[in-house]
Amino acid sequence: MGDFVLNVNGARLRVSASAEETLLSVLRNRLNLTGTKYGCGEGQCGACTVLLDGRATRSCLVPVESAAKAKIVTIEGLAQNGKLSAIQQAFLDEGAFQCGYCTSGMILGATSLLHERHNPTEEQIVEAMEGHICRCGTYPRIVEAVKRASRLLAPGASR
Ligand code: FES
Ligand code: FES
């Protein structure tokens, strides 16, 4: 066991964990940030996606030790001053979920995509979201939600 200081959603949090414990496990089981979901535990489903320094990352594959220097953002950190992020709002507006299990990973994946590309084509959205599995099959609505979010985030758009 060791002590690690993590930068999570803008706060510096101290946790005791073994160096190999996954970031996913630390977020859920030690920091009670349960919006990040455990799906496959093998990097295959995207349910555990968080942002590490702005990039979508499978937290089930990251040992906590190597996340200690990064800026970590989880689904709990996206809303600001009680206002949902544009992407969260777009998922709601498009009804882009059923059970919601994949949703936080999808939203963080989309956040990373729209950070890198402001106006992605449908093909680019599908390609970027490919590693995210939705067992409920809401893919078409998810694609619509990402398109809606990119319109909301376009320069000059009013939110
Ligand atoms: S739980 Fe991490 S990718 Fe499936
Ligand atoms: S909404 Fe159920 S897994 Fe995607």
Nearest-angstrom CA–CA distance, 114 and 87? 9
Assigned domain for 159 exists: no
Q: pLDDT tens digits, residue range 43-87? A: 999 999 999 999 999 999 999 999 998 999 999 999 999 999 999
User: Do 49 and 102 belong to one domain?
Assistant: no
User: Do 60 and 106 belong to one domain?
Assistant: no
How far, in Å, from the CA of 110 to the mean position of ligand 2? 15
To test the pocket of ligand 2, the residue of 99, 108, 129 to mutate (highest count of ligand atoms within 8 Å of its CB) is: 99
User: Do 97 and 144 belong to one domain?
Assistant: yes
User: Do 72 and 90 belong to one domain?
Assistant: no
Nearest-angstrom CA–CA distance, 87 and 70? 23
Residue 132 backbone dihedrals phi, psi, to 5 degrees: -100, 125
pLDDT for residue 157: 76
| Residue at token pair 């919601």 | 100
Residue 17 backbone dihedrals phi, psi, to 5 degrees: -160, 165
How far, in Å, from the CA of 24 to the mean position of ligand 1? 9
Q: Identify the segments of the chain with pLDDT beneath 50.
A: none
Domain boundary residue, one of 20, 52, 76? 76
How far, in Å, from the CA of 145 to the mean position of ligand 1? 22
The predicted model scores a pTM of 0.96
Question: CATH code at 57?
Answer: 3.10.20.30
pLDDT for residue 159: 58
How far, in Å, from the CA of 49 to the mean position of ligand 1? 7
Instruction: Residue 120: give the domain boundaries.
Output: 86-152
User: Do 64 and 95 belong to one domain?
Assistant: no
Angle between helix 122-129 and 103-116 (nearest 10): 130
To test the pocket of ligand 2, the residue of 136, 139, 141 to mutate (highest count of ligand atoms within 8 Å of its CB) is: 136
Assigned domain for 129 exists: yes
Question: CATH code at 119?
Answer: 1.10.150.120
pLDDT for residue 137: 96
